[in-house]
Amino acid sequence: MRAEAMSGTSLLYNLRFRAILYQVIAVAGIVLLGLYLFSNVSQKLAEQNIATGFGYLSREAGFVISQTLIDYKPTDTYGRAILAGIVNTVWVSAWSVVLATVIGLFVGIARLSRNPLLAFLAFLYVEALRNVPLLLYLFLWYALIVTGLPGVREAWEVMPHVFLSNSGLTVPSLVWSGAHTTVLLALVLGGILAVVFHRRATAERIRTGQARTMWPWIALAVLLPPALALLIAQPDLAVDLPEKGRFRLTGGAQLRPEFTALLVGLALSASAGIAEIVRSGILSVRKGQWEAARALGLRDGSTMRLVVLPQALRVIIPPLTSSYLSLFKNSSLAIAIGYPDLVMVSNTTMNQTGQAIEGIAIFMLVYLGLSIMISVFMNWYNSRVALKER
């Protein structure tokens, strides 16, 4: 009797038993909560006569998407509409990342300039962008484009055949054909060749200790494949010139105001954050490194490229990853100004089908998946630049 009570209490005071007990309670709690919510949902859905499942993805969508990169017409399926939304999201995010990185790099270096006026201007730029919500800027840029620029009929011809109006920027475009794709592929091939060549030459130089002039060979590696492709495929150089008709502009490629406002808004906001990241990265490299490089006889440019930047990148990459990720997630604000990204297309789909759970699940999974992909890529890059300790 007494022994039994003893073992009962000692079991409760056994650390391993308690650890297991806590975990069982936590998991059971979550499972029960999930079951409870699931039963509520099924009851509600049955009451409101809402269909479930992803069958609707293969039904005809029937709504117009104002701008798509892939071919899409209202007679296509919901699945294709959502795919068009995903492509639009990735498209605007990718361009914004490039633009934000370039601007952020320059502003970040300008913040550290010895010229006080330039440093002050860069400071104003960063603070003005960081302290005002992105959504407000999106509305503002959109309003400026739509109300500040003339209508299509009075479109402003900035350069011959380049029109600026409140329906966006219209520029001449190439009539794309298979031959163009060949040339583009050849250009990519040339780039890869040049990188391989450069690597080989560097390895050779390190092995033998003798530097040879490499740039003519690299230039040749870049230029030769596209030149050959040009000669063989002979792409048509037909250009689609936009013309001002009586009511609208015809021809050419158009940069819509929604896209432009979103691109500018995302890129500028992110560039302010990136500028601060670049600044703190460069500041993290000690002054002695500059002095040592100079003592070795390196010029300013080489010091930056060979000594400071590789060390600064270690500090820069992790926060840069999170600012790319937040830019990508912020592209979902597109819905506020009517750029048809994933969220906006999903929203239209949900309104038409009533299947909110599936719609939200799809876009959350897509965001989650793409976020994970971005962070995996950036972690891989980070491990390349990280300090190699023996």
Binding site for other proteins (CB under 8 A): 19, 22-24, 26-27, 30, 37, 40-41, 43-45, 47, 113-118, 120-121, 127-128, 130-136, 139-140, 143-144, 147, 294, 299-300, 329-330, 332-333, 335-336, 343, 347, 350, 356-357, 360, 363-364, 367-368, 371-372
**Residue 118 or residue 230: which is nearer to other proteins going by CB?**
118
Give min distance, CB of 182 to other proteins, in A.
39
Rounded to the nearest whole angstrom, what is the least distance from the CB of residue 197 to other proteins in the complex?
32
Instruction: Name which of 194 and 327 has its Cβ closer to other proteins.
Output: 327
Residue 100 or 222: the one with the smaller Cβ distance to other proteins is: 100
Residue 90 CB, shortest distance to other proteins, in Å, is 14
Phi, psi of 60 (to 5 degrees): -70, 135
User: Smaller CB distance to other proteins: residue 183 or 266?
Assistant: 266
Cβ count within 10 A of residue 283 = 14
- Tell me if 331 sits within 8 A of 89, measured CB to CB: yes
- Return the number of the residue (81 or 333) whose C-beta is nearest other proteins: 333
Query: Nearest distance from residue 51's CB to other proteins, in Å?
Result: 13
Q: Nearest 5°: phi and psi at 48?
A: -90, 5
Cα dist from 280 to 66, 115, 199, 269, whole Å: 41, 18, 30, 18
CB of 131 to other proteins, least distance (A): 4
Minimum CB–partner distance for residue 167 and other proteins (Å): 17
By beta-carbon proximity to other proteins, the closer residue of 201 and 336 is 336
Q: Please state the closest distance from residue 372 (CB atom) to other proteins, in A.
A: 7
Nearer to other proteins, 152 or 335 (CB): 335
Beta-bridged to residue 174, according to DSSP, are: 239
Q: Which two tokens stand for residue 129?
A: 């962008």
- The angle formed by the CA atoms of residues 273, 278 and 281, to the nearest 5 degrees, is 125
Cross-sheet strand order for the sheet of 168-171? 156-159, 162-165, 168-171, 253-255
> Rounded CA gap, 34 and 43, in Å?
14
List of E strands, the chain: 156-159, 162-165, 168-171, 173-174, 239-240, 243-244, 249-250, 253-255
CA distance linking residue 387 with residue 206, whole number of Å? 20
